Amino acid sequence: MRTIILLIFPGFQILDAAGPIAAFEIAGRLCPGSYALQLAAVAPGAVPSSAGVSLSAAATRGLRAVDTLLIAGGEGVDAAAACATTRRFVLRMAESARRVASVCSGAYVLARAGLLDGRRATTHWRRTPEFARRFPAVRLEPDRIFLRDGKFWTSAGISAGIDLALALIEQDLGESVARSTAQQLVVYHRRPGGQSQFSALLDMARPVQRFGGLLDYVRGHLRERLSVDDLAQRSHLSARQFSRLFHAEVGMPPARAVEALRVEAARTALESGAASIQRVALDCGFGHAERMRRSFLRITGMPPAAVKRRVTRRDHRGSLT
């Protein structure tokens, strides 16, 4: 049983709390006994969100053992970060917690407590200029959906809290449970850690019926040729009909969709520490590294080598701690 305490405060963003709560609740139903969820606040009872809807929270005072501390963000985060009682609670929990995480501007609370000094972190893109000025000791990476530095996890704005929760669930219970949780939530299982525009799945209009299974097939067979004719045949359509219907439903031509999914898979592999750019290029169906480099530049604006260098620097820093 992993105890997860979600810290909220007056003016918190309701989805920052509700999104992760829903993800952990579903994962707990898939694997009974995995999680115990607890809302906490310095001022217990009904805590109003920025929308005016309140959630009931227990007092932070007296809470001790915790596996994961998760801090919501929202309009009230500045007051929460300035609250000495809140900071003392976060520091106390962080000493023994296996993981400490924030959603959106909840990173302000961690930064104000000094827990992110010298660490990589992200937050909501609207807050990044101010965050960088206020916390120069934090190595802010504003182009991330979520990231991990040691036991500290931070995430970007609002819906990224669900991406963060799915990543934590995958770490705890495995990829299959995380994927099933995402399916129940009707969200995509994995977005890469970069900006949302780097996510092929986010850029695509969400398939309703016709091509959902086909895209699942593509993701599982990226090494194959996957030409328009091949995909049309699998969909039992002529190439012309297939291209027209696919573009109308998915929001992009089939070839571009395949390329985007290959880039996303390659980026995820590189961020996970894959040993070789050439190996990733082969595994993801590019054929060779130069073709993958051109696709990366066209879709993400950065070459695979830049992703690889960032991962190498991260792993080197980890080996020194």
Residue 137 sits in the same domain as residue 177: yes
For the question of whether the overall pTM of this predicted structure is more than 0.85, the answer is: no
Q: What is the structure's pLDDT at 114? A: 97
The residue length of the chain stands at 321
Residue 9 sits in the same domain as residue 93: yes
Q: Please identify, among 139, 163, 185, the residue that sits at the C-terminal boundary of a domain.
A: 185
Written as six digits, the tokens of 97 are 């917690």
Q: What is the structure's pLDDT at 203? A: 52
Q: Does residue 190 sit within a domain?
A: no
Q: Tell me which of 104-118, 144-158, 176-190, 277-291 is least confident.
A: 176-190
Q: What is the CATH number of the domain that holds 228?
A: 1.10.10.60
Nearest to 121 by CA among 132, 23, 130: 132
Q: Does residue 191 sit within a domain?
A: no
Using the predicted structure, report yes or no on whether residue 90 has a pLDDT greater than 70. yes
Residue 214 sits in the same domain as residue 164: no
Question: In angstroms, how far apart are the furthest CA atoms of the chain?
Answer: 66
Residue 225 sits in the same domain as residue 170: no
Q: Does residue 192 sit within a domain?
A: no
Residue 12 sits in the same domain as residue 146: yes
For residues 23 and 321, which has the higher predicted lDDT (pLDDT)?
23
Q: Does residue 303 sit within a domain?
A: yes
**pLDDT interval class at 319 (50, 70, 90):** very low
- How confident is the model over 140-183, as pLDDT tens digits? 887 678 889 999 999 987 788 999 999 999 999 998 999 899 88
Catalytic residue (one of 31, 83, 104, 284): 104
**pLDDT interval class at 46 (50, 70, 90):** very high
Task: State which amino acid sits at residue 31.
Answer: C
Q: Does residue 267 sit within a domain?
A: yes
Which 3 state secondary structure label does DSSP give 232? helix
Nearest to 303 by CA among 293, 311, 312: 293
**DSSP secondary structure letter of residue 156:** -
Mean pLDDT within 68-77: 97
Q: Cα(108)–Cα(131) distance, rounded to whole angstroms?
A: 8
- Its domain, for residue 76, covers 2-185
Domain count, the chain: 2
Pairing label, strands 99-102, 152-155: parallel
Q: Confirm if 160 and 139 have CB atoms less than 8 A apart.
A: no
Q: Please identify, among 120, 150, 185, the residue that sits at the C-terminal boundary of a domain.
A: 185
Q: What is the structure's pLDDT at 190? A: 58
Active site residue 104: yes
Tell me the average pLDDT of the chain: 87
Q: What is the structure's pLDDT at 200? A: 54
Q: Cα(274)–Cα(26) distance, rounded to whole angstroms?
A: 31
Q: What is the CATH number of the domain that holds 21?
A: 3.40.50.880
Q: What is the structure's pLDDT at 201? A: 53
- How confident is the model over 213-269, as pLDDT tens digits? 898 889 889 999 999 999 999 999 999 999 999 988 877 889 989 998 999 889 888
Mean pLDDT within 274-280: 86
Q: What is the structure's pLDDT at 80? A: 97
250: part of which helix (H) or strand (E)? helix 239-250
Residue 110 sits in the same domain as residue 34: yes
Pairing label, strands 54-59, 2-7: unpaired
Other beta carbons within 10 Å of 220: 9
Q: What is the structure's pLDDT at 145? A: 82
